[in-house]
């Protein structure tokens, strides 16, 4: 009852974006708890669960508490949420039942009635308890509490609508607990009310949207409704949901614009089709642009106004969401979209107005973002903002061109009027940026005010954009902006600044192989270089453009004509040359040599035919095409002889060059592969390996490609080689496409020539291919005249005509008429003249050029051969027949010893060494017309036959045998064999025993001839014989000339038989046969067959009492090891020199084997003692056997019989020999003087007795 109501404060309604909660009842009480209430309410979050499957969220609730008034309640139909009171609270601290009944109850009843009248069911009654006031009522016992009363009176079933707040101003646990319960209840009720009302609002909004096809529907009206929903979300700090509302409005409007473009337009869109009168850009510095919002509400906004307001709201929310980079991205899309929408709606826009709007908007967005972020953040997110910078640069450039600020002469009056109109459309600057020095408004106004200001702003923007693109790695975009900048510089007549950007862009396009951008940039670069006066660069670029097929024919001809015009004008300095790469002018396709092996002799003519593919669109007259040739003399020149070159350098003579299909590398994989080769170098003397290694043949190709790709637009620094050796072709017109160009040169110096450079000169412009690859070489050789004579057969045979081939290599000498070869005649060799001999003349490529008859004249000493006329470096070939006279070789005076049937060992050795054919050398000296020195040629002839002879005896009858052996490969026919005595004996007869007159002798076979010697009186001491036989090749029927017979001369001495040796073996006495192991008797009977002869007169002969005797030594030799000689096997006998004188020797031998055994050999030697005095004391009738004497078996083959005839000389020799004690000597008897009549006889020997037989039985 004592409580008095304070006067209510005035209602303060603010746009603080908080839910409205009304407070009724005790205002003083509410004021006391309001600070704590407003502080504690948003402290704890609440889970907000929503319908339609949307995810629950945790939100912090704040409220705007206002005093309760009836006019705050929404009227029927009012759907506003911002001014909607979501909760009503009644505050009271009444604790007296009487006071409650008297005043509080009535007040509550009235409050409730007002809420019900407005259909509001969200209310809460708060009862604040105060312990201080309770003390006053302690005397009265309450029957029921106030809380229970209020709940019974007003809450009915909703007992939770009445809460108690105990001592809210105290600081105690009980108070805190009470606050917590109250706040939880407050949040719950507030959220429930909010959810319910928000859902209703959304349903109403959705219903309104579904009616958008109705005639009276308006987008602006709907815009306001949905934006209120966005405001509500923003009020709850749900910025994401708020943004969704604006995005939906954005999409809805865009869809309507698209439909308008498709012909299905809504009526309300006509409001947005009014002409654009203002283009001051986006406004992003206010949270809500109320001016634009009201214009939308009044349906007076333009398209740009709507878009500007919509984006400003989105920008604000995105910045709240800490997403400034999305602002930049959305801004770029928005600006592009606005331009498109204005086109779709066919809105008329003054020229440049949109450019101003876009420019200002870009800068506004960029400055807004910079205001929210620090420098580091901006630098690390350039990728998000560079698009806006680029777009602003583009629009500023467009404005500059439109207002005449880029033209050379500056803006004209029309440009100035346009500028004034554009500036008028900007309007006045807004208050927010009035104090900002670099506001977008100020920047644009300044840029359009003057040419200098525009240039400054445009360059600043361009450079900033290029730097940004470069910093984030977008090189291509940076280069593209650079091209725009270059275009600006070219318009401002500053080509030196444009060149840098054009070169950079072109390098990028070349590196990645983009043809059209390359062509376009090159055209710009050509114009730039022309203005800069860079003649070389301009001409090179022009040549590249003239050969570029991406240009039109007229453009190509234009650039080609630029080159020709410059080339034709006289140069300031006569020796000045412009050197350009050739690959853009013409390409070398293939090269052809004639002769095809690229080998030519000194003085010869070499043709080089090349195919050049001209890249120019018109025929070009070239003054000269020059190939610079590098000449080198090979160190290993021994291999570079004419024969080696002609044999080893055979090829078709065609070299193909790989075409450069594009001036830039198509792919890294298409680079030429390494061409590695093994290199071996051998010493010329012994062909041993000197050096080995690996070389890369095309290393220059790899380096050249790298060089050309890096500095293709610049002159490549081609060094023009001015060598002494050039191939030149003058006044050639190159047609577009393939051209054949032929170079002719005469070879002068021998060596290797390498084609190095190919140059084509058009006036003072030289196109150079600096290095011709693959390597192109030709060789020049020089050759001395040579004469070569070789036999046509493997070996020349003596005695028959043989063919010899003459080869004259003229070399550098020219055979003139009258030149001839002068051959000296050899004594034993004939040069046969034939009337059919012909000479053939060949060229150095082995082609027959002519043929002539060969004239040969022969005199006693010289044979003259006339040579046919032949030019230099030709070959003359002809054949001749030569004949070497056959004759047996002289045996050096030594004659074979006649005698035994088996030849002596010496004879065997001689036969073994004589198996090869004997050769005869004939030296011919030839005088050649090209030299003063004679050429000596040796021809070696082989004698085809080998001849031996032997003496055969049969008692005193004598035979001579001649053996002819064919050692050659040919078969011969022998005929007319003769053996004649060339001595003086007239009583000697040689009786031939041969029956055939024709006898073939095949290769490697022998033929034997036998004659019998007969004489009537005393036989001569020696016999001189000559054997001759006619021969001819068996294959030839008839030879041109008759061949001389083959002759063989030999000498036979001491052929008369003096002794007969006969051996005989007898079995032991009493036995019939000889037995193995038993001793047998060997009787050797030596018989003298003639009286004293001249041959017996030597130192072995002794004379006593009319009797002559000589000393002989006999020896029993068993070569077959069939006999064992027991006891003595040799002895010396004194043999009387008388016919039929016989000496018998007895020995014992033992057979070692059974069967028919041949008899042992018995040999006789002449015994020559040196003690004649002793021998004179010997008895003539007794035979002395001196077994103990050791003899020298090497007899003297040259007995001096005449010196031993005199007795006085014998005595003197004996006296001298006696003093020195010399040894006796043995002298072998000639084969003809001893006849062994037991030769071939065999003796039957039976085995031993039975006790030597072993019996072996095998079971």
Partner 1 sequence: MAVCIAVIAKENYPLYIRSTPTENELKFHYMVHTSLDVVDEKISAMGKALVDQRELYLGLLYPTEDYKVYGYVTNSKVKFVMVVDSSNTALRDNEIRSMFRKLHNSYTDVMCNPFYNPGDRIQSSRAFDNMVTSMMIQVC
In the block, tokens 């947005």 appear at 272
Which residue in the set 9, 275, 427, 473 belongs to the binding site for partner 1 (CB under 8 A)?
Answer: 473
- What is the closest distance, in whole angstroms, from the C-beta atom of residue 344 to partner 1 in the complex? 7
Question: Is residue 661 part of the contact set for partner 1 (CB under 8 A)?
Answer: no
- DSSP-derived letter for residue 100 is I
Over the window 557 to 586, marking each residue x when it contacts partner 1 by CB under 8 A and - when it does not, the resulting string is ------------------------------
Q: Given the rule CB under 8 A, which of 284-292, 371-379, 466-474, 775-783 is the region that contacts partner 1? A: 466-474
Site for partner 1 in 842-901 (CB under 8 A): none
CA distance 1052 to 896: 7
H-type alpha helices, 780-820: none
Six-digit token string for 1127? 């006891």
Which backbone phi and psi does 1047 adopt, to 5 degrees? -120, 150
Cα–Cα distance list, 824 to 155, 816, 920, 933, 934 (Å): 162, 22, 17, 14, 10
Site for partner 1 in 326-345 (CB under 8 A): 332-333, 335-336, 339-340, 343-344
The H or E element that residue 541 is part of is helix 535-546
Confirm if 746 and 651 have CB atoms less than 8 A apart. no
Question: Is residue 475 part of the contact set for partner 1 (CB under 8 A)?
Answer: yes
- What is the closest distance, in whole angstroms, from the C-beta atom of residue 508 to partner 1 in the complex? 8
3-state secondary structure at position 845? coil
- What is the closest distance, in whole angstroms, from the C-beta atom of residue 243 to partner 1 in the complex? 20
Question: Is residue 553 part of the contact set for partner 1 (CB under 8 A)?
Answer: no
Question: Is residue 670 part of the contact set for partner 1 (CB under 8 A)?
Answer: yes
Site for partner 1 in 382-401 (CB under 8 A): 383, 387
3-state secondary structure at position 632? strand
Which backbone phi and psi does 1257 adopt, to 5 degrees? -115, 140
Tell me the site size for partner 1, rule CB under 8 A: 33
Confirm if 238 and 59 have CB atoms less than 8 A apart. yes
Q: Given the rule CB under 8 A, which of 422-430, 473-481, 929-937, 1106-1114 is the region that contacts partner 1? A: 473-481
- Between 89 and 334, CB nearer to partner 1: 334
- Between 384 and 1225, CB nearer to partner 1: 384
Over the window 257 to 276, marking each residue x when it contacts partner 1 by CB under 8 A and - when it does not, the resulting string is -x--x---------------
- Between 111 and 279, CB nearer to partner 1: 279
- What is the closest distance, in whole angstroms, from the C-beta atom of residue 382 to partner 1 in the complex? 12
**E strand residue ranges, 585-724:** 586-594, 599-601, 605-614, 620-632, 654-656, 676-682, 689-696
Half-sphere exposure (CA, 13 Å, Cβ side) for 373? 22
- What is the closest distance, in whole angstroms, from the C-beta atom of residue 640 to partner 1 in the complex? 43
- Between 516 and 1221, CB nearer to partner 1: 516
CB atoms within 10 A of CB 197: 19
- What is the closest distance, in whole angstroms, from the C-beta atom of residue 331 to partner 1 in the complex? 11
- What is the closest distance, in whole angstroms, from the C-beta atom of residue 446 to partner 1 in the complex? 25
- What is the closest distance, in whole angstroms, from the C-beta atom of residue 280 to partner 1 in the complex? 20
Cα–Cα distance list, 383 to 33, 351, 1103 (Å): 53, 31, 148
- What is the closest distance, in whole angstroms, from the C-beta atom of residue 423 to partner 1 in the complex? 23
Residue partners of 811: CB distance under 8 A and separation at least 6: 782, 783, 784, 785, 786, 872, 873
Q: What angle do helix axes 535-546 and 553-568 make, rounded to 10 degrees? A: 140
- What is the closest distance, in whole angstroms, from the C-beta atom of residue 245 to partner 1 in the complex? 22
Question: Is residue 251 part of the contact set for partner 1 (CB under 8 A)?
Answer: no
Cα–Cα distance list, 127 to 134, 352, 557, 1148 (Å): 14, 69, 102, 178
- What is the closest distance, in whole angstroms, from the C-beta atom of residue 335 to partner 1 in the complex? 8
Q: Report DSSP letters for 1095-1128, one per residue.
A: GG-STTEEEETTEEEEEEEEEEE-SSS-EEEES-
- What is the closest distance, in whole angstroms, from the C-beta atom of residue 502 to partner 1 in the complex? 14
- Between 261 and 736, CB nearer to partner 1: 261
- Between 494 and 515, CB nearer to partner 1: 515
Half-sphere exposure (CA, 13 Å, Cβ side) for 55? 6
- Between 383 and 464, CB nearer to partner 1: 383
- Between 550 and 1211, CB nearer to partner 1: 550
Confirm if 1143 and 1135 have CB atoms less than 8 A apart. yes
- Between 520 and 530, CB nearer to partner 1: 520
- What is the closest distance, in whole angstroms, from the C-beta atom of residue 478 to partner 1 in the complex? 9
Site for partner 1 in 503-532 (CB under 8 A): 509, 512-517, 520
Confirm if 239 and 233 have CB atoms less than 8 A apart. yes
3-state secondary structure at position 647? helix
Over the window 342 to 371, marking each residue x when it contacts partner 1 by CB under 8 A and - when it does not, the resulting string is -xx---------------------------
- Between 510 and 1084, CB nearer to partner 1: 510
Q: Given the rule CB under 8 A, which of 161-169, 661-669, 1126-1134, 1154-1162 is the region that contacts partner 1? A: 661-669
Confirm if 17 and 234 have CB atoms less than 8 A apart. yes
Please state whether beta strands 1161-1168 and 1155-1158 pair in parallel, antiparallel, or not at all (unpaired).
unpaired
CA distance 1090 to 955: 12
Residues comprising the chain, all counted = 1259
- What is the closest distance, in whole angstroms, from the C-beta atom of residue 509 to partner 1 in the complex? 7
Residue partners of 219: CB distance under 8 A and separation at least 6: 212, 252, 253, 256, 266, 268, 269
- Between 261 and 929, CB nearer to partner 1: 261
Q: Given the rule CB under 8 A, which of 21-29, 64-72, 469-477, 1210-1218 is the region that contacts partner 1? A: 469-477
What is the distance between the terminal CA atoms of the chain, rounded to a whole angstrom?
166
- Between 128 and 388, CB nearer to partner 1: 388
CA distance 581 to 543: 9
Over the window 1192 to 1211, marking each residue x when it contacts partner 1 by CB under 8 A and - when it does not, the resulting string is --------------------
Q: Given the rule CB under 8 A, which of 371-379, 474-482, 1002-1010, 1088-1096 is the region that contacts partner 1? A: 474-482
- Between 469 and 1046, CB nearer to partner 1: 469
Question: Is residue 667 part of the contact set for partner 1 (CB under 8 A)?
Answer: yes
- Between 327 and 626, CB nearer to partner 1: 327
Q: Given the rule CB under 8 A, which of 115-123, 204-212, 662-670, 1075-1083 is the region that contacts partner 1? A: 662-670
- Between 423 and 472, CB nearer to partner 1: 472
In the block, tokens 């023009």 appear at 720
Six-digit token string for 1095? 């041959």
Q: Given the rule CB under 8 A, which of 564-572, 668-676, 966-974, 1097-1105 is the region that contacts partner 1? A: 668-676
**Burial (CB count within 10 angstroms: exposed 0-12, middle 13-18, buried 19+), residue 470:** middle
Can you give the three-state secondary structure of 703-752, one letter per residue? Answer: HHHHHHHHCCCCCCCCCCCCCCEEEEEEEEEECCEEEEEEEEEECCCCEE
Which residue in the set 18, 323, 476, 812 belongs to the binding site for partner 1 (CB under 8 A)?
Answer: 476
The H or E element that residue 395 is part of is helix 382-402
3-state secondary structure at position 188? helix
The H or E element that residue 1006 is part of is strand 1006-1014
- What is the closest distance, in whole angstroms, from the C-beta atom of residue 666 to partner 1 in the complex? 7
Please state whether beta strands 725-734 and 620-632 pair in parallel, antiparallel, or not at all (unpaired).
antiparallel
Question: Is residue 668 part of the contact set for partner 1 (CB under 8 A)?
Answer: yes
Q: Which residues bind partner 1 (CB under 8 A)?
A: 258, 261, 332-333, 335-336, 339-340, 343-344, 383, 387, 469, 472-477, 480, 509, 512-517, 520, 666-670
């Amino acid at each position: 009852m004592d409580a008095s109501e304070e006067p209510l404060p005035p209602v303060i309604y603010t746009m603080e974006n908080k839910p409205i909660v009304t407070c009724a009842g005790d205002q003083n009480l509410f004021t006391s708890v309001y600070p704590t209430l407003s502080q504690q309410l948003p402290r704890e979050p609440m889970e907000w669960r929503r319908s339609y499957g949307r995810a629950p969220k945790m939100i912090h609730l704040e409220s705007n508490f206002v005093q309760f008034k009836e006019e705050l309640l929404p009227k029927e139909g009012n759907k506003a949420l911002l001014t909607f009171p979501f909760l009503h609270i009644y505050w009271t601290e009444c604790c007296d039942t009487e006071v409650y009944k008297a005043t509080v109850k009535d007040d509550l009843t009235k409050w409730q009635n007002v809420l019900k009248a407005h259909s509001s069911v969200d209310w809460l009654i708060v009862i604040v308890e105060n312990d201080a006031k309770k003390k006053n009522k302690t005397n009265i016992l309450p029957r029921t509490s106030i809380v229970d009363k209020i709940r019974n009176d007003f809450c009915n079933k909703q007992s939770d609508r009445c809460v108690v707040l105990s001592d809210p101003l105290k600081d105690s646990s009980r108070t805190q607990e009470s606050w917590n319960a109250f706040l939880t209840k407050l949040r719950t009720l507030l959220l429930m009310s909010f959810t319910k009302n928000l859902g209703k609002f959304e349903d109403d909004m959705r219903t309104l949207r579904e009616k958008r096809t109705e005639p009276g529907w308006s987008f602006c009206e709907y815009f306001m409704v949905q934006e209120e929903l966005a405001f509500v979300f923003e009020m709850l700090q749900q910025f994401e949901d708020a943004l969704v509302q604006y995005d939906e409005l954005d999409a809805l409007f865009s869809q309507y614009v698209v439909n308008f473009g498709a012909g299905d337009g809504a009526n309300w869109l006509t409001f947005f089709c009014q002409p654009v009168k203002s283009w001051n850009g986006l406004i992003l510095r206010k949270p809500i642009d109320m001016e634009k919002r009201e214009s939308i509400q009044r349906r007076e906004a333009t398209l740009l106004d709507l878009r500007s307001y919509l984006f400003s709201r989105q920008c604000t929310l995105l910045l709240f969401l800490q997403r400034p980079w999305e602002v930049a991205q959305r801004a770029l899309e928005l600006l592009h979209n606005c331009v498109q929408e204005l086109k779709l709606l066919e809105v008329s826009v003054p020229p440049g107005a949109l450019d101003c709007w876009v420019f200002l908007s870009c800068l506004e967005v960029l400055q807004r973002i910079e205001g929210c972020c620090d420098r580091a953040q901006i630098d690390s997110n350039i990728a998000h903002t560079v698009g806006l910078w680029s777009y602003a640069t583009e629009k500023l450039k467009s404005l500059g061109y439109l207002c005449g600020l880029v033209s050379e002469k500056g803006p004209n009056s029309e440009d100035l009027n346009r500028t004034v109109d554009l500036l008028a459309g900007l309007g006045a600057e807004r208050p927010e940026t009035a104090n900002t020095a670099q506001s977008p408004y100020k920047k644009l106004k300044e840029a359009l005010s003057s040419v200098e200001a525009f240039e400054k702003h445009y360059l600043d923007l361009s450079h900033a954009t290029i730097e940004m693109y470069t910093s984030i790695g977008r090189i291509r975009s940076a280069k593209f902006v650079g091209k725009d900048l270059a275009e600006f510089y070219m318009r401002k007549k500053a080509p030196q600044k444009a060149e840098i950007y054009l070169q950079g862009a072109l390098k990028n396009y070349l590196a990645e192989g983009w043809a059209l951008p390359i062509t376009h940039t090159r055209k710009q670069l050509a114009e730039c270089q022309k203005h800069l006066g860079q003649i070389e660069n301009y001409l090179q670029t022009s040549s590249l453009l003239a050969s570029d097929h991406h240009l039109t024919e007229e453009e190509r001809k234009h650039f080609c004509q630029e080159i020709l015009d410059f080339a034709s004008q006289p140069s300031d300095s006569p020796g000045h040359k412009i050197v350009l790469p050739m690959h853009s002018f013409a390409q070398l396709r293939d090269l052809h040599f004639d002769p095809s092996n690229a080998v030519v002799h000194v003085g010869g003519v070499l043709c080089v035919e090349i195919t050049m593919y001209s890249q120019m669109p018109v025929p070009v007259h070239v003054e000269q095409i020059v190939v610079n040739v590098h000449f080198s003399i090979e160190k290993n020149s021994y291999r570079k002889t004419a024969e080696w070159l002609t044999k080893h350098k055979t090829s078709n003579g065609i070299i193909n060059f790989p075409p450069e299909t594009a001036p830039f590398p198509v792919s890294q994989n298409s680079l030429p592969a390494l061409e590695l080769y093994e290199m071996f170098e051998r010493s010329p003397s012994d062909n041993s390996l000197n050096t080995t290694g690996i070389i890369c043949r095309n290393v220059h190709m790899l380096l050249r490609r790298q060089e050309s790709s890096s500095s293709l637009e610049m002159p490549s620094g081609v060094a023009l080689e001015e060598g002494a050796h050039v191939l030149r072709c003058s006044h050639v017109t190159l047609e577009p496409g393939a051209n054949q160009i032929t170079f002719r040169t005469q070879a002068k110096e021998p060596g290797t020539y390498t084609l190095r450079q190919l140059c084509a000169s058009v006036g003072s412009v030289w196109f150079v291919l600096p290095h011709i690859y693959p390597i192109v070489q030709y060789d020049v050789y020089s050759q001395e005249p040579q004469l070569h004579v070789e036999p046509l057969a493997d070996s020349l045979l003596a005695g028959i005509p043989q063919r010899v081939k003459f080869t004259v290599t003229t070399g550098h000498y020219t055979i003139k008429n009258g030149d001839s070869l002068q051959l000296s005649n050899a004594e034993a060799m004939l040069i046969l003249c034939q009337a059919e001999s012909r000479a053939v003349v060949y060229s150095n490529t082995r082609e027959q050029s002519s043929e002539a008859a060969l004239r040969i004249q022969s005199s006693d000493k010289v044979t003259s051969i006339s040579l046919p006329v032949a030019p230099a470096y030709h070959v003359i070939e002809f054949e001749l027949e030569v004949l070497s006279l056959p004759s047996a070789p002289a045996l050096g005076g030594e004659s074979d010893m006649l005698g035994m049937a088996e030849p002596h060992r010496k004879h065997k050795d001689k036969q073994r060494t004589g198996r090869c054919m004997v050769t005869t050398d004939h030296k011919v000296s030839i005088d050649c017309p090209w030299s003063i020195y004679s050429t000596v040629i040796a021809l070696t002839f082989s004698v085809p036959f080998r001849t031996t002879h032997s003496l055969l005896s049969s008692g005193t009858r004598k035979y001579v045998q001649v053996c002819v052996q064919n050692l050659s490969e040919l078969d011969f026919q022998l005929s007319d064999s003769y053996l004649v005595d060339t001595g003086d004996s007239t009583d000697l007869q040689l009786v031939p025993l041969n029956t055939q007159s024709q006898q073939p002798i095949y290769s490697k076979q022998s033929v034997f001839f036998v004659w019998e010697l007969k004489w009537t009186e005393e036989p001569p001491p020696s016999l001189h014989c000559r054997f001759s036989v006619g021969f001819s090749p068996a294959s030839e029927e008839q030879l041109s000339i008759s061949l001389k017979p083959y002759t063989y001369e030999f000498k036979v001495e001491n052929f008369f038989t003096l002794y007969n040796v006969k051996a005989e073996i007898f079995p032991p006495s009493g036995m019939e046969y000889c037995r193995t192991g038993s001793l047998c008797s060997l009787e050797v009977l030596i018989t003298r067959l003639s009286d004293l002869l001249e041959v017996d007169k030597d130192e072995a002969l002794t004379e006593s009492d009319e009797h002559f005797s000589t000393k002989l030594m006999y020896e029993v030799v068993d070569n077959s090891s069939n006999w064992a000689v027991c006891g003595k096997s040799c002895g010396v006998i004194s043999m009387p020199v008388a016919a039929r004188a016989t000496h018998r020797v007895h020995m014992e031998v033992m057979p070692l084997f059974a069967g028919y055994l041949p008899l042992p050999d018995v040999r006789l030697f002449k015994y020559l003692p040196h003690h004649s005095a002793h021998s004179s004391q010997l008895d003539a009738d007794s035979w002395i056997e001196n077994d103990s004497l050791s003899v020298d078996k090497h007899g003297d083959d040259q007995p001096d019989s005449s010196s031993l005839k005199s007795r006085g000389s014998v005595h003197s020799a004996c006296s001298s020999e006696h003093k020195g004690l010399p040894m006796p000597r043995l002298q072998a008897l000639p084969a003809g003087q001893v006849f062994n009549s037991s030769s071939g006889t065999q003796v039957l020997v039976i085995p031993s007795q039975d006790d030597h037989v072993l019996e072996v039985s095998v079971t």
